[in-house]
Amino acid sequence: MILLAVLVVLTGCTVDRPGEDAEAAPVAQVTIAPTAGATDVDPVAPVSVTVANGTIDQIALTNAGGKQITGQLSPDRTTYKVTEPLGYGATYTWAGTAVGADAKPIPIEATFTTISPQSTIPATINIGDGQEVGIAAPIILKFAGPVTNKAAVEKALTVTTDQGTEGSWAWLPDDGGSRVHWRPKNYWTPGTTVHVDAKLYGVDLGGGAYGDSDVTSDFTIGRSQIVIANAPSHRMQVVRDGATIFDFAVSYGEGNEPRNVTRSGVHIVTEKYEDFMMSNPPYYTNVRERWAVRISNNGEFIHANPESLSAQGSSNVTNGCINLSPGDAQAYFPTALYGDPVEVTGTSIELSQADGDVYDWTLDWPTWKSMSALPAE
C-alpha cells in the first residue's frame, strides 16, 4: 500500500496545469529604415518597414503634403518597401500598425527628412532613343555644371550591348560644364543594340550639387561606313561594309599656314545641312554652301564648292574643308550618319582637343582608359 501511494504522488507531480508555465506569445518587433528622426537621407536609399514576430496590418508613407508614396507589401506581410524615389529636402512620415503573434497591435510611427542640396545639375545625352548611328559614335553625357565627384558619377553609369562590347568612360575637359564620353575600344560592330543607363538622381556630384534626374537611351549602330580622306591623293573614298561606293575628286586645305590645314586623324560626322552659311573672318563671311557635313567643331566640313572645282582631284586649295563638286556632295550627303568615321591622313597637323569637342578616336586605348575616374580593372 505504501508503494502505491508513492506512485500516485509522483504521477500527480507531472500533470500540466494550463496557463501556469506556458510562455507568452511574442510581441511584434518593428524595424524602420531609415531610423526615426534621420536627416540628410539619400532620396534613393532603401526605405522600408520590417516586422518580426508578426505582420503588417496597415502601412503608409506620406510626404508633408499628405501624398502617399508608392510601395509594395511582401506576400507574407512582414516587409513593406518604398518603390519610388523620394524628393530632395522633404519630410516623410510613417503611419500604420503591426500585429504580433500575441494578437496585440503595435503602432508604426516615424519621421525622417531627405537631404537638401545646394543645387541640382541636369545632364543630357547626345544620342536619342531609337536613333541609328555610325560605327565611331561616342556616347556623350554633358552636365549643365561642374562635377567634382567624378568617381561617384561614373559608378552610376552603365552601357549594355548585345555584343559584349568592350569600352570605357573618359572625362574630357569641361566645356560649359563637365562631360564624360564612352567609346568602344574599336569601332562598333554594325547592328549592335545599346542601352545607356545613367542613374544620376540622388548622386552627390560634389560641391553641394546633386544629380537632377536619371538619363537613359536605347539606340542602334547602323551599317559600317568609313570615309577615307588622304590629302596628298586629292581624292576621298566612301567605304560601305568593306566595299567602295564612292571615289570622289576633292580638294583639301591648302596647308600653307596652320589655319587652313585639314587636320589628320579620325573625325566623326556630327551634323549635316543641305544649306549652311559659313564664315571664316577675315577670309570670308556668310558664304552659302550646299550639302555640308560637319566633321569637327573647328569649322571642318565635307561640302560642295563650285569655286574650287578646277582644283578638285589635282591640288589642295581650301581653307581646311574637304570640297567636292555639287553633284558628288549631293550624292554623299544622304548616306552620312552621326558617328560615321572620317579618317583624314597626310597633313601636317593632327586633330586634337584644340579642334573641338569630339577628338575621342585620336587617343590610343591606354590613354583613353586612363581618363576614367575609376581604377583600371
* pLDDT of 325 over the 90 cut: yes
Residue 257 above 50 pLDDT?
Answer: yes
Average pLDDT of the segment spanning 262-271: 98
3-state secondary structure of 329: helix
Are 331 and 236 in the same domain? Answer: yes
Around 229, how many Cα atoms within 13 Å sit in the side-chain half-sphere?
30
Q: Is 290 in the same domain as 188?
A: no
pLDDT at 272 over 90: yes
For position 92, which CATH number holds?
2.60.40.3780
Q: Residue 374: inside a domain, yes or no?
A: no
As a whole number of angstroms, the distance between CA 162 and CA 41 comes to 36
Mean pLDDT of 137-148: 98
Q: Indicate the pairing of strand 119-121 with strand 209-211.
A: parallel
Domain match, 89 and 146 both: no
% of the chain at pLDDT higher than 90: 88
Q: pLDDT tens-digit profile of 149-159?
A: 999 999 999 99
Domain boundary among 196, 222, 248: 222
Structural contact between residues 62 and 108, judged by C-beta atoms closer than 8 angstroms: no
- 237 and 314 co-located in one domain: yes
Predicted model pTM = 0.87
CA gap 303, 280 in Å, rounded: 15
pLDDT for the residue numbered 23: 73
In this prediction, residue 6 has a pLDDT band, given cuts at 50, 70 and 90, of: very low
Instruction: Check pLDDT > 70 for residue 131.
Output: yes
Who contacts 159 (Cβ-Cβ below 8 Å, separation ≥6)?
139, 165, 167, 182, 194, 195, 196
Residue 267 lies in a domain: yes
Residue 67 has pLDDT above 60, yes or no: yes
What's the CA angle centered on 177, arms 175 and 179, to 5 degrees? Answer: 75
CB 246 within 8 A of CB 328: yes
CA atoms 154, 157, 159, 164: torsion sign: positive
13 is catalytic: no
Give a yes or no: residue 39 inside a domain: yes
In a domain? residue 286: yes
Read off the pLDDT of each residue in 16-29 and give the average, rounded to a whole number. Answer: 68
Task: Let me know whether 57 and 91 are in one domain.
Answer: yes
Partners of 275 in the β-ladder? 290
State the cell numbers at 50.
Answer: 520590417
Domain boundary pick from 222, 246, 276: 222
Residue range of the domain that includes 295: 225-358
Structural domain contains residue 377: no
Last residue of a domain, one of 84, 113, 142: 113
Task: Say yes or no: 211 and 326 in one domain.
Answer: no
Residues 278 and 336 in one domain: yes
CATH number at residue 154: 2.60.40.3710
Per-residue pLDDT of 166-214, as tens digits, reads: 999 999 999 999 999 999 999 999 999 999 999 999 999 999 999 999 9
In a domain, 188, yes or no: yes
> Does residue 15 carry a pLDDT above 80?
no
Query: What phi, psi does 49 have (nearest 5°)?
Result: -130, 130
Structure confidence at residue 203 (pLDDT):
97
Q: Which of 13, 195, 267, 303 is catalytic?
A: 303
C-alpha grid cell, residue 11: 504521477
Q: How confident is the model at residue 357 (pLDDT cuts 50, 70, 90)?
A: confident
Kindly state whether residue 61 falls inside one of the protein's structural domains: yes
Residues 272 and 299 in one domain: yes
Assign 26 to helix, strand or coil.
coil
CB of 301 within 8 A of CB of 233? Answer: no
Which class for 52: exposed (0-12), middle (13-18), buried (19 or more C-beta within 10 A)? middle
221-to-130, 191, 224, 266, 296 alpha-carbon distances in Å: 10, 5, 9, 18, 21
**What mean pLDDT is reported for the chain?**
93
- Same domain flag for 319 and 354: yes
Total domains, the chain = 3
Average pLDDT value for residue range 227-243? 98
Same domain assignment for residues 161 and 252: no
d(CA 194, CA 182): 12
Do 215 and 274 share a domain, yes or no?
no
The answer to whether 343 touches 262, Cβ cutoff 8 Å, is: no
Residues 185 and 310 in one domain: no
